[in-house]
Amino acid sequence: MRAVRFHEHGGPDVLTVDDVDEPEPGHGEVVVEVGAAGVNPVDTYFREGAYPVPSLPFVPGSDLAGTVVSVGDDVERFSLGDRVFGTGLGNGRSGTYAEQVAAPVDSLAHLSDDAELTDAAALALVGTTAWRALVHHAGVEPAERVLVHGGSGGVGHVAVQLARAMGARPLATASPGHHDALRDLGAESAFDYRRDDLAAAISEAGAPDVVLDTHMDRYLQLNANVAADGARIVGIGNDTAEGGFDDIGVTKSKELRYQFMSMFNTPDPSAVLAHLNELLVRGDVEPVVHDTYALEEADDAQRAVLNDSFLGKLVLVP
């Protein structure tokens, strides 16, 4: 079978399509014939060497959607021919940029027959991330205002929809060209993240009870300044190059709660994915697939996921 691998760390050019042996399922695993695999910024961190891999060569990729073609020992939830989608691979084990992948069952959930494989692959990682942030950590309640930084990104555009599905009132920052699309996805207001009066604009729309900061510490002080008393601020991403607190006192006076998180720490990914499947089928959360790529174009996809401005997700289709 074909799989995208890197034999050394480096730029996108180190990605190659290799002929490799088909995987065999281990204990508690199934082999999935991959119909689609999501492309995420985190995939590039493993390729570059910022995040460790167990050995080289290595197959990147966290998300997949496809069909079960082989079942390992002590697997009861899945059978041959089941449609599934999953996430959390590519971190300590071989990833999803391949025609077939061996996956542990706790990283998978059943996928409804009327769901598109590309949509499911696009949703898995970012949907699990948004769910962990807004449901597990922030405990979003109906009618609360939820500010999502980077609303046009993979996590951001799903978080806007998830907040709306929870009965909350989403706000988002993004480039102006994406504002109309974000309003269509459920955002009450969208703000140009580059405007000098960003804090004032957000405050005028209403102090957020929850902030999902997809740029880690870039907006630490801004979040504290605009947040409502007792707000919950959840940080994800890999951006720690700038920002910080100028006045940390406001965090104490408002008794703000900060939580930094990683999707890979989700305790029961399969349960979250099962919820996401229901939301996808009902149309409450619909990932935007901006573009699809063949395996041979994985290098272009990884360039685009970091460098291009677009709303939604990129997907590989083997």
CATH fold for domain 2-111+288-316: Quinone Oxidoreductase; Chain A, domain 1 (3.90.180)
Share of the chain above pLDDT 90, in %: 91
* Rounded Cα distance, 253 and 231, in Å: 12
Other CB atoms within 10 A of residue 177 CB? 12
What's the token pair of residue 83?
């449609």
Separation CA 180–CA 155 (nearest Å): 18
What pLDDT does 217 receive?
67
Identify the three-state secondary structure at position 152.
coil
Amino acid at 73: D
To the nearest whole percent, how much of the chain has pLDDT over 70?
96
Give domain limits for the chain.
2-111+288-316, 126-263
Residue 96 and residue 34 in contact, taking contact as beta carbons nearer than 8 Å: yes
d(CA 271, CA 127) in angstroms, rounded, equals: 12
Query: Which letter, b or e, does each residue of 24-50 get, where b requires 16 or more Cβ atoms within 10 Å of its Cβ?
Result: ebeeebbbbbbbbbbbbbbbbbbbeee
Residue 176 neighbours by CB under 8 Å, 6+ apart: 192
Q: What is the DSSP letter of 318?
A: -
pLDDT in tens, 225-272: 999 999 999 999 665 556 666 767 787 788 999 999 999 999 999 999
Q: Is the predicted pLDDT of residue 274 greater than 90, yes or no?
A: yes
Q: What is the C-alpha to C-alpha distance for residues 157 and 231, in angstroms, rounded to an integer?
A: 21
Q: How far apart are CA 312 and CA 80, in angstroms?
A: 31
pLDDT given at position 303: 98
Averaged pLDDT for residues 116-128: 98
Fold identical between 2-111+288-316 and 126-263? Answer: no
Mean pLDDT of 86-106: 97
What does the pLDDT read at residue 253? Answer: 80
Please report the pLDDT score of residue 189 as a whole number.
97
The answer to whether 121 touches 85, Cβ cutoff 8 Å, is yes
Instruction: Supply the pLDDT for residue 199.
Output: 95
Q: What pLDDT is stored for residue 258 in this prediction?
A: 92
- The predicted-structure confidence for 184-230, as pLDDT tens digits, reads as follows 999 999 999 999 999 999 999 999 999 999 876 678 889 999 999 99
pLDDT of the residue at 250: 81
- 86 residue type, one letter: G
- DSSP for 198-245? HHHHHHHH---SEEEETTTTTTHHHHHHHSPTT-EEEE-SS--SS---
CA R_g for the chain = 19
Instruction: Say whether pLDDT at 305 is over 70.
Output: yes
Q: How many CB atoms are closer than 10 A to CB 92?
A: 11
- Number of continuous H segments (helices) and E segments (strands) in the chain: 9, 15
> Between β-strands 289-293 and 313-316, what pairing exists: parallel, antiparallel or unpaired?
parallel
Once rounded to an integer, what is the mean pLDDT over residues 67-71? 98
pLDDT tens, position by position, 164-190: 999 999 999 999 999 999 999 999 999
The topology under which CATH files domain 126-263 is: Rossmann fold (3.40.50)
pLDDT computed for residue 242 by the predictor: 60
pTM, 2 dp: 0.95
Q: What is the reported pLDDT for 45?
A: 95
Of the candidates 201, 190, 198, 257, the residue with the CA atom closest to the CA atom of residue 228? 257
Return the pLDDT at 271: 98
What is the C-alpha to C-alpha distance for residues 102 and 85, in angstroms, rounded to an integer?
12
Sorted by sequence, the CB contacts under 8 Å of residue 290 that are 6+ apart come out as 310, 311, 312, 313, 314
Q: Distance between alpha carbon 120 and the CA centroid of its chain, in Å?
A: 12
